Amino acid sequence: MKTLREVAVGSGCTVRKLHGEGAVKRRIMDMGITKGVDIKVEKVAPLGDPMEVIVRGYRLSIRKADAAMVEVE
């Protein structure tokens, strides 16, 4: 299992499954990150948190803890 947190900068991936429950899962889904969506990792902050990703043409910032809940392929 590979998570969004492990994807290299400049690489793309497709969401396979969302883990987590309640507010955390809802926050991820509210960003437009759902099963089957393509995501590209643009950059990661110098200390590793947050990550900047492109989802559905929008540039978003996601915490690494949340990125660890997104299973990708």
Question: What domains appear along the chain, each with residue ranges and CATH number?
Answer: 2-72 (2.30.30.90)
Q: What is the pTM assigned to this prediction?
A: 0.87
Q: Which of 31, 29, 2, 34 is nearest to 15 (CA)?
A: 34
pLDDT of res. 3: 94
pLDDT in tens, 25-54: 898 999 999 999 999 999 999 887 899 999
Judged by phi (left if over 0) then psi (alpha if -120 to 50, else beta), residue 22 lies in left
